[in-house]
């Protein structure tokens, strides 16, 4: 159950730790913000799920309208969206891949919380605030020194075929998210 009063955007709870990870990475290796959805209604339920062996995956953060959970530190490699596990900072958002654009926009607080967290990492890791489609991601990731950007798990799956996930869905308002990230950067 979310808290009655939303956390400030710069806060994250740390009482859930994901069991699946691939160990440490260098800050210079993080080149992408990878967006996911939890397929659940709350960040807390997803964060708790990541503490179980059955989860089979992890992210760095899980957010919803009122809360954020840091389930892995920024420089720990999550099991999020191969082959961008090492190169990605992974943010799970409470919601469903089946949601329409209107349903996502009805949870603008989730989008804003995720965008704020993404902006901090874009600044920290020098990730450009740009969204990449499948072709652009393939080209960028194939470079010796990728520029990076913002992608969804759906885009990563379509680009590389290493998972069958399609979150956060075709109707996810990536344009709204990117604009919010940019506004937090300025």
Residue 2 lies in a domain: no
Can you give the pLDDT at residue 4?
Answer: 52
Q: Domain span at residue 54?
A: 21-185
Can you give the pLDDT at residue 15?
Answer: 94
Residue 4 lies in a domain: no
Residue 179 lies in a domain: yes
- In sequence order, what E strands does the chain have? 21-24, 32-37, 61-63, 68-70, 76-78, 88-93, 149-152
Looking at the structure of the chain, the number of domains it has is 1
Residue 16 lies in a domain: no
Interval 90-123: pLDDT, tens = 999 999 999 999 999 999 999 999 999 999 999 9
CB 80 within 8 Å of CB 36: yes
pLDDT of 2 > 60? The answer is no
Q: What is the mean pLDDT of residues 132-152?
A: 97
Rounded Cα–Cα distance for residues 1 and 89 (Å): 26
Residue 171 lies in a domain: yes
pLDDT of 6 > 80? The answer is no
User: Per the omega criterion (within 30 degrees of 0), is the bond before 183 cis?
Assistant: no
Residue 13 lies in a domain: no
Q: Which residues pair with 152 in a beta bridge?
A: 35
CATH at 90: 3.40.80.10
Residue 80 lies in a domain: yes
Can you give the pLDDT at residue 74?
Answer: 98
């Amino acid at each position: 159950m979310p808290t009655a009063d939303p956390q400030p955007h710069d806060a994250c709870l740390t009482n859930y730790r994901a069991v699946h990870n691939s160990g440490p990475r260098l800050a210079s290796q993080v080149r992408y913000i990878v967006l996911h959805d939890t397929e659940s209604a709350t960040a807390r339920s997803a964060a708790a799920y990541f503490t179980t062996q059955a989860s089979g995956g992890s992210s760095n953060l899980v957010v919803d309208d009122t809360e954020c959970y840091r389930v892995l530190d920024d420089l720990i490699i999550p099991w999020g969206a191969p082959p961008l596990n090492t190169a990605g900072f992974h943010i799970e958002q409470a919601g469903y891949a089946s949601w329409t654009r209107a349903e996502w926009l009805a949870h603008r607080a989730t989008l804003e919380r995720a965008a704020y967290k993404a902006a901090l990492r874009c600044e920290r890791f020098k990730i450009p605030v740009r969204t990449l489609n499948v072709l652009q991601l393939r080209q960028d990731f194939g470079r010796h020194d990728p520029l990076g950007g913002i992608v969804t798990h759906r885009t990563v799956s379509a680009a590389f075929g290493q998972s069958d996930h399609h979150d956060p869905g075709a109707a996810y308002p990536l344009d709204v998210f990117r604009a919010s990230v940019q506004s937090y950067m300025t």
